[in-house]
Structure 1
Amino acid sequence: MGVKDINIDNTPLSEKIAETIRSNIMKGVIKPGERLVEPKLSEQLGISRTPIREALRLLEMEGFIEIIPRRGAIVTQITDKDIDDIFVIKIRLESLAARLSVSKVSDADIERMKELAQKVKEGSTKVTNMVNWNSEFHDIFINNCGNERLIRILEGLQQQFKRATVYSFTEMGRTKQVNEEHISIIEAFENEDEDKVEELVEKHIMNGWNFIRSRVPVREAQGE
């Protein structure tokens, strides 16, 4: 199934396993629809099932797999159309949420956004950390928008968006640009400039959309 031997270092074993499986999914070595069976992985890797189970939970949180009762972990499909469907909604609704939140974010919220931007700038060898920091940055203004329906809609996209966002934080990703865009967004929030915040968030998402779409290895819908 394409899972390579795991080299053990100071990284927790579950994260090392997740990184290997994630990389192989992104490269197309592990195909959409393929089952990841815990006993088989345990036998192939020569390790217990506990870290494998933890790794699969991480990958499910990122949207790479879906754990289905009595079937196990199934690798999810992602296509150009999936990316477009997610981002065409996100670019409109998240920029609206940002605009609505300008008068509601606190000084503490802005300080946390700065901390998260710094974490992204410093980077991490763990892609999951980068994705989660980026997600939390966006969640701060989304959750402050004051519109519960809008918040729930964007929450519904979160898992799929996390999977797509992984491409931005790989070795050939756009981490530097993400950080610069985050800093500009923070400055607009500090200036309480609703128009600028909305414009910058929309541009930020559009840039991510274009970059991610260029990196997704599955170019067509399954079966086409």
Structure 2
Amino acid sequence: MVSNDEQAGEAIGADISGSRMLDAYDRIKLAILRGAFAPGARLSQVKIAESLGLSRTPVREALRLIEKEGLVSSRRGRQVVISTTSMADLDELYALRIKLDTSTVRTSVADLDGADMDEMRDCLARMEQFASPENFAEFDAAHRTFHMIAIRGAGPRHVEYSAKLNEHAERYRRIYLGQSNSYEQSSAEHRAILAACDARDGGLVSYLLAEHYARIALTIIAQIEPQFEPRLVRAAARVALDGKEGPTRKSETEKMAARSGEGF
């Protein structure tokens, strides 16, 4: 019969092991998303464990989780290959973001309160403060939070899945935001989204997000592989924008964005 002390020891050991695995997961995933490893690069589990100061077991388990998310693939000889970026992957990723986030904000925006709006304004201010390629990490941290605020009232499952899509999009945002002039367009679009959230207009926020996501995806494709046809993004955007195009809607958006800018 196992004693209480033995049970406690086993539980503590399991907690420590799980903590090490999660630490390895967070650190490896962050390095991949931030471009520390080139797409297609081969990594050794042994070397990763050595660099993290961990045993191979938590690293192996962490890599299994990361592999399920599609960021790496395993090869023989305990090698790990960083998944390559591709226009097909970008097309699927941004189509999913358009479908999920634009449908979610239609209802979640109505529940935003004053504290939420203050947080969004603070995020936008930080995004504009760090609007340059050399400050990408600071910009993107505020950028991720900005977009999550508008949907977090939809529930934990929506938030979790949207956050993962947002994370995976980081590798592509780095491509898009590699040029300093892209930040000016980004600022204008985020100001418009903020103004629509402040008006609690979920339909307009949905419209603006669809345009924002689609434009980023199409811009990257035009830069890297202009012959690629982003059919998934185009189809998702058509659905999200149905019945909301036209000069009247555009004029309304521009006026709201201009009013939003008065506070900065």
- What TM-score bracket applies, with the shorter chain setting the length? 0.5 to 0.7
Change (3 A) 1:149 1:37: closer
TM-score (norm 1): 0.65
Where 2:84 maps in the other structure, the secondary structure is coil
Provide the C-alpha distance between the structure 2 equivalents of 1:112 and 1:139, rounded to a whole number of angstroms. 11
- Tell me, yes or no, if the aligned pair for 2:197 and 2:205 is still in contact at 8 Å: yes
Where 1:77 maps in the other structure, the secondary structure is coil
Structure 1: tracts of 5 or more residues without a match: 1-17, 42-47, 52-56
- Tell me, yes or no, if the aligned pair for 1:87 and 1:209 is still in contact at 8 Å: yes
**Alignment match, 1:137:** 146
- Tell me, yes or no, if the aligned pair for 1:110 and 1:190 is still in contact at 8 Å: yes
Question: Among 178, 196, 201, which residue is 1:170 paired with?
Answer: 178
**Alignment match, 2:120:** 113
Residue 78 (1) aligns with residue 98 (2): no
The count of aligned residue pairs is 181
Where 1:74 maps in the other structure, the secondary structure is strand
In the TM superposition, residue 39 of structure 1 has moved relative to its aligned partner by 8.9
Residue 182 (1) aligns with residue 190 (2): yes
**Residue identity opposite 2:106 in structure 1:** R
Provide the C-alpha distance between the structure 2 equivalents of 1:142 and 1:162, rounded to a whole number of angstroms. 19
In the TM superposition, residue 177 of structure 1 has moved relative to its aligned partner by 1.1
Moved more, 180-189 or 92-101: 92-101
**Alignment match, 1:98:** 105
Provide Cα deviations, 1:151-201, integer angstroms capped at 9, x if missing partner.
343234233212222223223561111111111111111112222111111
TM-score (norm 2): 0.56
Provide the C-alpha distance between the structure 2 equivalents of 1:153 and 1:50, rounded to a whole number of angstroms. 28
- Tell me, yes or no, if the aligned pair for 2:152 and 2:158 is still in contact at 8 Å: no
**Alignment match, 2:222:** 214
In the TM superposition, residue 83 of structure 1 has moved relative to its aligned partner by 0.7
Larger Rg: 2
**Alignment match, 1:22:** 35
Provide Cα deviations, 1:67-122, integer angstroms capped at 9, x if missing partner.
97984653221211101111111112111122222211121111111111111212
- Tell me, yes or no, if the aligned pair for 2:71 and 2:82 is still in contact at 8 Å: yes
> Which structure has the highest helix share of the two?
2
- Tell me, yes or no, if the aligned pair for 1:22 and 1:64 is still in contact at 8 Å: no
Provide the C-alpha distance between the structure 2 equivalents of 1:216 and 1:164, rounded to a whole number of angstroms. 11
**Residue identity opposite 1:189 in structure 2:** C
Change (3 A) 1:68 1:132: farther
Identity, in percent, stands at: 19
RMSD: 3.7
